[in-house]
């Protein structure tokens, strides 16, 4: 390819809307352009990168026995009604109606469609296991699209669905995908970490891991243990209760006036208590049920754990002030667990029963109770881990001190179980002639997001630094002057030779000053640059420079191709 011909509009200035470094650099490097909120066009070089990542994904899926298919983007509402997700999915789903008033959605994911396929075509255990995947656009009407390709409303995803005869089979498929993902992200040159994660809206049974690319701009928070291999999304991370040291109070609880004291901080300051000596009490409302949720004052409630434990379809959320008034007869800010209505279910974090002396809201204006002892003074109906973990806590596996990091979720592997196969009757007949539902798993890679994540992790002040396996071109050949015949001829010869030996190479044949060419080459991020200038050429040499390290060496013209091929072969080895 020739720089003079490729549509690669580089920008000196950053478009005003760009927020994170990957977005800025992709726009500046002429890889993408925005078409609308969360919707992007891929320009030729951007598309090459995307295709390279796709190809790596494809190779690894095929290596594990995956079969590529292409499922429809437009999906009938009927299927989604069968699994109940037409209503559950909510405003994130793009919905449309055709001329006959039939309802459809743009696929945000493909469990329904693929399971529908399998129920029609799979009859016998002899046809299983089956691993079907596709690489295709997904559509999600994100609440707030942002960060360029990191959170778009249209994005490219590889999704594979596994169908097995039983749990053991699922575990095998799961392991295959876990290993494949490790290979994929390693091949893409990323520093990543698989973390335990929450099952989320996809539902289903069993474990799930997210593959997180560690980066400042990541939207997900993870905790990890430096001592062992434990790592988890904070949404999921198990919390160990921290015991209290002191003896329990013996005197009865009593009422104290706390004018205008509505927050934990205000109340603890006012009463001269530590924040962890308060019971934080929050009222949650679900679709048709209300819960009082208790957690230590210095802790935060993890609504994901709460939802999972109390019922994922309750749509639990913090109660409106009006609901608080109706249920407890007081304003938010003075809510507490003592003498609450008998039909109000009280749930508490593991740490609450361990509290020895506490203060809490009194369910009346401007008052709190102190010298409260949990369970002596109030009822708890259910105790479980419902709080958010924080850095510095003990690792649930080995007891080491957890650290926190931010991550970009580029992949997720997920055991679905029989949730969809049961709902859609995707059954097979086993060896004994018994009909059984397939045991399913689903496994996603955010392909376009991986491209953004790779930039987040590989850039400097001059631009992108592509890892060789996913670079748009592996080598750029730069003749320093287009006026010097010898330089141009040598550059063309080198370009041709590299090209013919299978190196992905682009030549900057524009009649530009060298500075411009160098700046553009650095910005776009070609891993290798061959510079041909008259001075070194007089000695029969050209300059080979590595984008990543800035290292450069002079190489004899005749040896260049083998030198370049050596470096590339090394980088592609895995």
| Window of 43-51, 140-148, 435-443, 565-573 that interacts with RNA by CB under 7 A | 140-148
Q: Binder to RNA among 32, 214, 273, 319 (CB under 7 A)?
A: 319
What is the spatial distance between Cα 91 and Cα 263, in angstroms, rounded to a whole number?
33
17 binds RNA (CB under 7 A): yes
Which of 138, 160, 175 shows the shortest CA–CA distance to 68? 160
5 binds RNA (CB under 7 A): no
Residue 37 or 569: which CB sits closer to RNA?
A: 37
Longest dimension (CA), the chain: 97
* Site size for RNA (CB under 7 A): 66
Between residue 108 and residue 127, which ones bind RNA under the rule CB under 7 A? Answer: none
223-239 exposure pattern, b = at least 16 Cβ within 10 A, e = fewer: bbbeeeebbbbbbbbeb
19 binds RNA (CB under 7 A): yes
Q: Binder to RNA among 228, 516, 569, 572 (CB under 7 A)?
A: 516
Which of 282, 249, 253 shows the shortest CA–CA distance to 367? 253
What is the spatial distance between Cα 151 and Cα 224, in angstroms, rounded to a whole number?
24
| Window of 74-82, 137-145, 350-358, 430-438 that interacts with RNA by CB under 7 A | 137-145
Residue 159 or 349: which CB sits closer to RNA?
A: 349
| Window of 45-53, 61-69, 407-415, 518-526 that interacts with RNA by CB under 7 A | 518-526
What is the spatial distance between Cα 523 and Cα 460, in angstroms, rounded to a whole number?
9
Residue 9 or 392: which CB sits closer to RNA?
A: 9
296 binds RNA (CB under 7 A): no
Q: Binder to RNA among 21, 157, 295, 386 (CB under 7 A)?
A: 295
Residue 225 or 452: which CB sits closer to RNA?
A: 452
What is the spatial distance between Cα 169 and Cα 165, in angstroms, rounded to a whole number?
6
- Tokens 């901080």 sit at which residue? 265
In 224-365, where does DSSP find H-type helix? Answer: 264-271, 303-310, 321-328
CB-based contact 411:211 (threshold 8 Å)? yes
514 binds RNA (CB under 7 A): yes
Residues 326-365 vs RNA: string with x where CB under 7 A? ------xxxx-------------------------x----
Residue 87 or 322: which CB sits closer to RNA?
A: 322
Residue 280 or 415: which CB sits closer to RNA?
A: 280
What is the spatial distance between Cα 160 and Cα 177, in angstroms, rounded to a whole number?
9
13 binds RNA (CB under 7 A): yes
Which of 243, 327, 258 shows the shortest CA–CA distance to 337? 327
Helices 485-500, 560-572: inter-axial angle, 10-degree rounding:
40
Q: Binder to RNA among 46, 66, 145, 527 (CB under 7 A)?
A: 145
Residues 29-58 vs RNA: string with x where CB under 7 A? -----x-xxx--------------------
List the structure tokens of 364. 């009346």
With the CA atoms of 101, 106, 112 and 117 taken in that order, what torsion angle do they form, in degrees rounded to the nearest 10? 90
Backbone angles phi, psi at 71, to 5 degrees: -95, 155
The nearest distance, CB 427 to RNA, in angstroms, is 41
| Window of 98-106, 429-437, 498-506, 510-518 that interacts with RNA by CB under 7 A | 510-518
Residue 34 or 422: which CB sits closer to RNA?
A: 34
| Window of 102-110, 167-175, 242-250, 534-542 that interacts with RNA by CB under 7 A | 534-542
User: E strands along 400-503, which residues?
Assistant: 403-417, 427-429, 435-437, 439-446, 459-460, 463-464, 475-479
List the structure tokens of 422. 């049961």
Q: Binder to RNA among 460, 535, 562, 572 (CB under 7 A)?
A: 535
527 binds RNA (CB under 7 A): no
Burial bucket for residue 415 (CB in 10 Å: 0-12, 13-18, 19+): buried
Residue 205 or 536: which CB sits closer to RNA?
A: 536
What is the spatial distance between Cα 287 and Cα 12, in angstroms, rounded to a whole number?
53
The nearest distance, CB 389 to RNA, in angstroms, is 13
Q: Binder to RNA among 24, 28, 296, 449 (CB under 7 A)?
A: 28
Which residues sit at the interface with RNA, rule CB under 7 A?
A: 10-17, 19, 28, 34, 36-38, 143-147, 262-265, 267, 280-284, 295, 300-301, 303, 317-321, 324, 332-335, 361, 462, 480-481, 483, 513-516, 518-523, 531-536, 543, 545
């Amino acid at each position: 390819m020739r720089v003079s011909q490729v549509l690669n509009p580089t920008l000196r200035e950053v478009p005003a809307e760009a927020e994170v470094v990957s977005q800025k650099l992709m726009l500046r490097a002429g890889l993408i352009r925005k078409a609308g909120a969360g919707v992007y066009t891929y320009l030729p070089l951007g598309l090459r990168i995307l295709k390279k990542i796709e190809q790596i994904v494809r190779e690894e899926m095929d290596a594990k026995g995956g079969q590529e298919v292409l499922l429809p983007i437009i999906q009938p509402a009927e299927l989604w009604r069968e699994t109940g997700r037409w209503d559950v999915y909510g405003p994130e789903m793009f919905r449309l109606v055709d001329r006959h008033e039939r309802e459809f959605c743009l696929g945000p994911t493909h469990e329904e469609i693929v399971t529908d396929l399998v129920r029609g075509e799979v009859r016998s255990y002899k046809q299983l296991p089956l691993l079907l995947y596709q690489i295709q656009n997904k559509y999600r009407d994100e609440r707030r699209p942002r960060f360029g390709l990191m959170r778009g409303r249209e994005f490219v995803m590889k999704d594979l669905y596994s169908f097995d005869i039983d749990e053991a089979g699922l575990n095998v498929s799961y392991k295959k995908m876990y290993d494949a993902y490790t290979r994929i992200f390693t091949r893409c040159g990323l520093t990543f970490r698989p973390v335990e994660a929450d099952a989320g809206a996809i539902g289903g049974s069993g474990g799930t891991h997210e593959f997180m690319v560690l980066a400042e701009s990541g939207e997900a928070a993870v905790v990890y243990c430096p001592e062992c291999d434990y790592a988890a999304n904070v949404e999921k991370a198990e919390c160990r209760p921290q015991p209290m040291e002191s003896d329990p109070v013996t005197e009865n609880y009593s009422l104290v006036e706390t004018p205008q004291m509505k927050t934990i901080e205000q109340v603890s300051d006012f009463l001269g208590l530590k924040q962890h000596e308060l019971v934080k009490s929050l009222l949650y409302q679900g679709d048709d049920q209300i819960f009082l949720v208790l957690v230590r004052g210095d802790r935060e409630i993890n609504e994901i754990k709460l939802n999972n434990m109390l019922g994922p379809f309750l749509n639990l959320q913090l109660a409106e002030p009006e609901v608080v008034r109706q249920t407890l007869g007081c304003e938010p800010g003075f809510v507490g667990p003592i003498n609450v209505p008998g039909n109000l279910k009280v749930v508490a974090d593991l740490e609450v029963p361990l509290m020895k002396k506490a203060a809490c809201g009194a369910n009346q204006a401007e008052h709190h109770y102190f010298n409260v002892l949990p369970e002596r003074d109030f009822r708890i109906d259910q105790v479980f881990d419902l709080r958010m973990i924080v850095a510095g806590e003990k690792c649930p596996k080995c007891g080491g001190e957890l650290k926190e990091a931010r991550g970009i979720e580029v992949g997720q592997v997920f055991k679905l179980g029989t949730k969809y196969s049961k709902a859609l009757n995707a059954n097979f007949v086993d060896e004994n002639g018994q009909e059984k539902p397939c045991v399913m798993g689903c496994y996603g890679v955010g392909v376009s997001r991986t491209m953004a994540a790779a930039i987040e992790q590989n850039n400097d002040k001059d631009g992108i630094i592509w890892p060789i396996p996913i670079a748009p071109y592996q080598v750029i050949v730069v003749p320093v002057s287009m006026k010097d015949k010898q330089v141009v001829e040598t550059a063309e010869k080198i370009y041709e030779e590299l090209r013919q030996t299978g190196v992905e190479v682009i030549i900057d044949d524009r009649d530009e000053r060298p500075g411009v060419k160098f700046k553009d080459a650095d910005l776009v991020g070609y891993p290798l640059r061959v510079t041909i200038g008259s001075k070194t050429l007089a000695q029969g040499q050209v300059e080979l420079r590595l984008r990543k390290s800035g290292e450069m060496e002079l190489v004899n013209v005749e040896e260049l191709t083998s030198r370049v091929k050596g470096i590339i072969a090394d980088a592609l080895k895995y």
